[in-house]
Amino acid sequence: DAGVIQSPRHEVTEMGQEVTLRCKPISGHDYLFWYRQTMMRGLELLIYFNNNVPIDDSGMPEDRFSAKMPNASFSTLKIQPSEPRDSAVYFCASSDLGHRNYGYTFGSGTRLTVV
Amino acid sequence: AQSVTQPDIHITVSEGASLELRCNYSYGATPYLFWYVQSPGQGLQLLLKYFSGDTLVQGIKGFEAEFKRSQSSFNLRKPSVHWSDAAEYFCAVATSKTSYDKVIFGPGTSLSVIP
C-alpha cells in the first residue's frame, strides 16, 4: 500500500494566487481529513469527509478555503485567493473506522508558502 | 469542552535512557486515546491506541502507554531511547464512541536525543 499520497510536497505562490492541494487516500478508507499545521496553532482540523460527503467544515478558516471529494480516491483543498497567513503545512489523512484499523494514516503533507 | 494537554513542550534525553512523555485529557466519558509521532518533514504516524481493556498498551517501535482514568492521563514510555526517536510526539483523544473519527490533538512534545 502506498499510503496517503499528497501533492505537491512544496508549493510557493504569490499572494492572491489560487492554490490547489491534492490528496489520494488509502483505498478502502471511508474517512478523509484535511489538517493544517503551524507553529502557532499546532494541528487544526479544517474539514473531513465520510464516503465523499463533507461532514464538518467548521474548521475552514474562511470562504477563501474550499474542499471537494469528487470520488473515493481523490480530494482537493483550494485556497483562492491565497494570503501570506495561509503559509503552513497541510496534511491529508484517511481512516478506516469500520474495521480494526482505527486511527488516522497521514500523508507527508504539503508545505505551502505564500509570499 | 474536550481538551488534550501535553505539559512538556520539549524534552531532551540521552540515548539509552528511559523516556516518559506526559499527556492529560479532559473528557467526561471513556476516551479513545492515541499517540502519534512526527519525524521531521513527515506526516504523523500512529504509535499506539487505547480503546478499552488492558490499560497498558503496546505500540510500535518499542513504545507503550498506560491509561490511568483516575489521573486522566495517557503517558507514553520507552525503556531505552534510540537516536532515531528524536521527533515530535502528539497525544490525541477521540471525543466520543460515535464520532471517534474526529480527533483532538495535543500541542505536541518535541524530543531531542543526545548521543
State which amino acid sits at residue A27.
S
Between residues 67 and 106 of chain A, which touch chain B (CB distance below 8 Å)?
Answer: 91, 93, 95, 97, 102-106
* Distance to chain B for A109, nearest Cα, Å: 6
Give Cα B46 distance to the centre of its chain: 9
Q: Number of CB pairs < 8 Å for A and B? A: 44
> C-alpha angle with apex A49: A45 to A51, nearest 5 degrees?
160
Give Cα B61 distance to the centre of its chain: 13
Smallest CA-to-CA distance from B9 within B114, B105, B89 is with: B89
pLDDT in tens, B47-64: 999 988 889 999 999 999
pLDDT in tens, B15-29: 999 999 999 998 877
pLDDT in tens, A14-51: 999 999 999 999 999 989 999 999 988 889 999 999 99
Indicate if the pLDDT at residue A5 is higher than 60: yes
